[in-house]
């Protein structure tokens, strides 16, 4: 992306975009930004109260009325993802993009202190659910004239490091998944799937991993929104199967 990139105010007009993890962090900020640029946003998260708050905020900025889908990614099975895709299709009639921003994280600990239950949670929410939800939604994405799917990667998934354990492993898998999807969907020029690595940013997750850090010393979510808008919008139409690190 050109560092001076600026998207058009209506660059996402008429599109329907599903955002997982929309209740907080970068998912929340991206959902609002997508609505501000004309998209109808499908808000997915476990906390309905948080989704209600974002729903009201989008209406307050005169964005298209969003849809809310309270949903537990960790508890879902194949049939649950298929039903969710069917509900989205029934109510919104189309789907032009997915931002996978939901995440499961516990703490920075040595591998010998991490449990199988923690790994199962992180692998399910961070890797298996993005795959399963994307697969379930593929018919709608295939019908879109210009569909974009964004997986949210992580610096320590891209370059693994001690103590990041199951979280790093689950995030590293997204990069392989992106490459495989990219190759398998080469025949469909209207669908692109990429992984975006935000890097250090003032977010709820960052405050868990670096509790003593000054949030003011970090990039703020707004600083990264051009990347999220570019990769979801038409200007990145030819970017496919890539892992991209946000730079400022």
Which of the residues are catalytic? Answer: 167
Candidates 246, 28, 73, 239; CA nearest to 170 is: 73
Burial 41-53 (b: 16+ CB within 10 A, else e): bbbbbeeeebbee
User: From the CB of residue 7, how many other CB atoms can be counted at a distance below 10 Å?
Assistant: 18
Q: Rounded CA gap, 234 and 108, in Å?
A: 38
Give CA angle at 77 (74, 80), nearest 5°: 100
Query: What is the SS3 string spanning 127-166?
Result: HHHHHHHHHHHHHHHHHCCCEEEEEECCHHHHCCCCCCHH
The DSSP secondary structure of 45-103, one letter per residue, reads ES-HHHHHHHHHHHHHTTPPPPEEEE--TTT--HHHHHHHHHHHHHHHS---EEEE---
For 211, which DSSP code? T
Asked whether 28 and 54 are in contact (CB, 8 A), the reply is: yes
């Amino acid at each position: 992306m050109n560092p001076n990139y600026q998207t058009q105010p209506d660059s996402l007009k008429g599109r329907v975009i599903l955002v997982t993890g929309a209740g907080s962090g970068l998912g929340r900020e991206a959902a609002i930004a997508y609505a501000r640029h004309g998209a109808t946003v499908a808000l997915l998260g476990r906390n309905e109260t948080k989704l209600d708050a974002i729903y009201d905020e989008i209406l307050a900025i005169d964005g298209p009325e969003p849809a809310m889908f309270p949903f537990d990614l960790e508890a879902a099975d194949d049939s649950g993802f298929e039903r969710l895709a069917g509900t989205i299709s029934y109510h919104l009639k189309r789907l032009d993009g997915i931002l996978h921003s939901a995440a499961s994280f516990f703490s920075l600990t040595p591998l010998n202190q991490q449990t199988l239950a923690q790994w199962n949670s992180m692998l399910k929410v961070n890797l298996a659910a993005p795959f399963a939800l994307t697969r379930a939604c593929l018919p709608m994405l295939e019908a879109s004239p210009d569909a974009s799917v964004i997986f949210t990667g992580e610096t320590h998934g891209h370059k693994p490091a001690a103590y990041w354990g199951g979280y790093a492993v689950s995030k590293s898998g997204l990069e392989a998944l992106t490459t495989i999807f990219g190759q398998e969907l080469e025949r469909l020029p209207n669908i692109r799937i990429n992984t975006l690595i935000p890097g250090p940013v003032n977010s709820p997750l960052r405050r868990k991993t670096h509790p003593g850090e000054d949030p003011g010393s970090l990039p703020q979510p707004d600083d990264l929104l051009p990347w999220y808008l570019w990769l979801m919008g038409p200007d990145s139409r030819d970017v496919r199967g890539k892992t991209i690190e946000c730079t400022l």
